[in-house]
């Protein structure tokens, strides 16, 4: 279970900030995505109107979520797919394992999927003695490293090519040159090609589920999605229930913003739509398609002040825009979902108390809201989560006491004036210029100088200047 206390977040952040490789990777990747996103959006006539349209589609869909899901189920079944409902991670994992076992399979190939990261499917498969192989290059790298994704879209963002070469070398038992990137990718391609052909099961997520035809849409850049859903005889898709979309017209709006916001591409290299299993006369394709509709805490949010978070299309634009994410990286968030969306989604899905630090991992600068293709007001929800922490006493008592005392004090002008004037006297031995010289380990601001109180308050100075009014 995920767990991010203040202490854990702070220490993870400090490690990330002290790691120059990681800082370079974060700066480079997020800057590229920010810039590319802007240029790709600038290419379309009215990107803001398109965002409004997607917002309208997403909120209207959530307002009738159950109906759209039922339509999706009916249409998917009509196309020959089998639809399963999973209340939580455990149910979803059990469904996957049962399907794999029914087919006597021992190996599954996977595409990158946040839903399967969320339910920790790989460890569950491993425990059931089923081998699962990630086939997205980035996801394979972190699988070999035994790490969670560092970014919603680019999971191995934090890995240098030297580290990748080391991981691949270990996997293929043969030294590989870190300077020769084409050779590294060729090696990955060779190894993964064997897995595609040997696997009995293909597992994917779903970027969109189109209700009117019961189709799922997969968005990939490496073509591995097509291999995973084409080569093995059985395809299992795990889809969060909020990913449903009523019509293909709606899906077109969604798709026109997804890759642009995410990787700054007009469309991803492959956009795959899957409607049921292969027909008898198709040369290939899965004989069985299973779609697992995953709730895992989502339906609980419908109708609450947090419903808006379900509009997320997992593009990762908020991560790339977030100045906090850019410093601390994905792992500091302690969950597969990182960045601003993770800071809201994780406490809501997996518990606020367990993830107490996440709502505070933000300066509330609003960059996330500015870039979100669905205009999800993440700052508003971060504030609401903080308010829940304050009222449910998640915040430790010394801090609550300070907050309450400070608010009280600021309610009494004369007392506030008196105490700050006393402070002016007591600070004298510590004042250097306009800063307070405090020993570093006692300084709550760390390496930053705290300001001293000015010699006189504005209130005191006003007495001198008020009569100057002409």
The pairing of beta strand 244-245 with beta strand 270-274 = unpaired
The answer to whether 32 contacts other proteins (rule: CB under 8 A) is no
The pairing of beta strand 431-432 with beta strand 244-245 = unpaired
Q: Name the CA radius of gyration of the chain, rounded.
A: 26
Shortest Å distance, C-beta 40 to other proteins: 18
The pairing of beta strand 234-240 with beta strand 435-436 = unpaired
Chain centroid, CA 352 distance in Å: 16
Shortest Å distance, C-beta 442 to other proteins: 12
Q: Are 307 and 62 in contact (CB under 8 A)?
A: yes
Question: Helix, strand, coil proportions of the chain in percent (round to 5)?
Answer: 55, 10, 35
Q: 207: closest CA among 179, 182, 172, 237?
A: 237
Q: Which of 32, 64, 74, 413 binds other proteins (CB under 8 A)?
A: 413
Shortest Å distance, C-beta 241 to other proteins: 29
Stretch binding other proteins (CB under 8 A), from 8-16, 67-75, 117-125, 297-305? 8-16
Count of residues engaged in binding other proteins, rule: CB under 8 A: 68
Choose between 67 and 403: whose C-beta lies nearer to other proteins.
Answer: 403
The answer to whether 10 contacts other proteins (rule: CB under 8 A) is yes
Shortest Å distance, C-beta 221 to other proteins: 27
Q: Which of 60, 127, 387, 418 binds other proteins (CB under 8 A)?
A: 387
Q: 451: closest CA among 441, 430, 436?
A: 436
Shortest Å distance, C-beta 201 to other proteins: 42
Q: Are 321 and 371 in contact (CB under 8 A)?
A: yes
Choose between 205 and 379: whose C-beta lies nearer to other proteins.
Answer: 379
Q: In the window 414-453, what residues touch other proteins (CB under 8 A)?
A: 416, 420, 433-435, 444-453
Q: In the window 255-294, what residues touch other proteins (CB under 8 A)?
A: none
Stretch binding other proteins (CB under 8 A), from 82-90, 138-146, 155-163, 325-333? 325-333
Separation in Å, CA 254 to CA 214, 267, 406: 16, 11, 47
If one counts every other C-beta atom within 10 angstroms of the C-beta of residue 410, the result is: 10
The answer to whether 386 contacts other proteins (rule: CB under 8 A) is yes
- What is the rounded distance in angstroms from the CA atom of residue 119 to the CA atom of residue 124? 9
The answer to whether 67 contacts other proteins (rule: CB under 8 A) is no
Q: Are 9 and 3 in contact (CB under 8 A)?
A: no
Shortest Å distance, C-beta 325 to other proteins: 10
The answer to whether 105 contacts other proteins (rule: CB under 8 A) is no
Residue 90 tokens, joined: 């455990």
Shortest Å distance, C-beta 457 to other proteins: 5
The answer to whether 98 contacts other proteins (rule: CB under 8 A) is no
Query: Which residues touch 207 (CB under 8 Å, ≥6 apart)?
Result: 216, 217, 218, 219, 243, 258, 313, 314
Q: Which residues bind other proteins (CB under 8 A)?
A: 6, 9-10, 13-14, 17, 323-324, 326-328, 359-367, 369-370, 383, 385-391, 395, 400, 403-404, 406-408, 410-411, 413, 416, 420, 433-435, 444-454, 456-462, 465-466, 468-470
């Amino acid at each position: 279970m995920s767990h991010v206390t203040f202490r854990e977040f702070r220490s993870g952040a400090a490690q990330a900030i002290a790691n120059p490789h990681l800082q370079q990777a974060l700066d480079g990747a997020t800057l590229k995505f920010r810039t590319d996103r802007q240029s790709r959006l600038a290419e379309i006539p009215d990107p803001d109107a398109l965002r409004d349209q997607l917002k309208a589609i997403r909120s209207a869909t959530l307002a009738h979520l159950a109906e759209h899901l039922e339509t999706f189920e009916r249409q998917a079944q009509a196309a020959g797919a089998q639809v399963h409902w999973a209340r939580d991670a455990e149910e979803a994992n059990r469904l996957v394992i049962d399907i794999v076992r029914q087919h006597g399979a021992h190996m599954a190939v996977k595409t990158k999927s946040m839903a399967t990261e969320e339910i920790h499917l790989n460890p569950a498969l491993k425990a059931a003695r089923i081998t699962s192989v990630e086939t997205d290059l980035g996801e394979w790298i972190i699988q070999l490293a035994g790490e969670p994704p560092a970014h919603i879209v680019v999971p191995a963002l934090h890995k240098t090519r030297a580290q990748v070469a080391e991981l691949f070398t270990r996997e293929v038992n043969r030294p590989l040159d870190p300077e020769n990137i084409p050779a590294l990718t060729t090696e990955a391609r060779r190894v993964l090609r064997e897995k595609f052909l040997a696997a009995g099961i293909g597992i994917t997520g779903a970027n969109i589920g189109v209700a009117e035809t019961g189709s799922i849409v997969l968005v990939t850049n490496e073509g591995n999605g097509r291999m995973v859903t084409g080569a093995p005889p059985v395809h299992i898709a795990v889809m969060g229930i909020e990913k449903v979309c009523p019509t293909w017209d709606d899906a077109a709006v969604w798709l026109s913003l997804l890759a642009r916001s995410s990787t700054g591409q007009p469309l991803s290299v492959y956009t795959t739509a899957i409607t049921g299993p292969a027909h008898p006369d198709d040369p290939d394709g899965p004989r069985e398609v299973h779609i697992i509709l995953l709730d895992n805490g989502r339906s609980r949010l419908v109708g609450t002040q947090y419903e808006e978070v379900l509009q997320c299309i997992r593009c990762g634009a908020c991560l790339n825009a977030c100045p906090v994410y850019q410093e601390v990286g994905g792992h500091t968030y302690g969950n597969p979902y990182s960045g601003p969306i993770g800071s809201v989604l994780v406490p809501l899905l997996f518990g606020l108390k367990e993830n107490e630090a996440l709502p505070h991992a933000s300066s509330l600068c609003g960059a996330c809201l500015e870039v979100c293709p669905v205009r999800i007001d993440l700052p508003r929800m971060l504030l609401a989560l903080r308010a829940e922490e304050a009222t449910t006493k998640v915040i430790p008592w010394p801090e609550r006491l300070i907050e309450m005392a400070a608010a009280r004090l600021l309610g009494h002008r004369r007392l506030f004036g008196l105490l700050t004037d006393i402070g002016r006297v007591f600070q004298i031995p510590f004042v250097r210029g306009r800063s307070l010289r405090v020993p570093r380990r006692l300084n709550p601001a760390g390496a930053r100088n705290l300001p001293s109180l000015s010699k006189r308050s504005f209130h005191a100075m006003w007495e001198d200047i008020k009569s100057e009014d002409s």
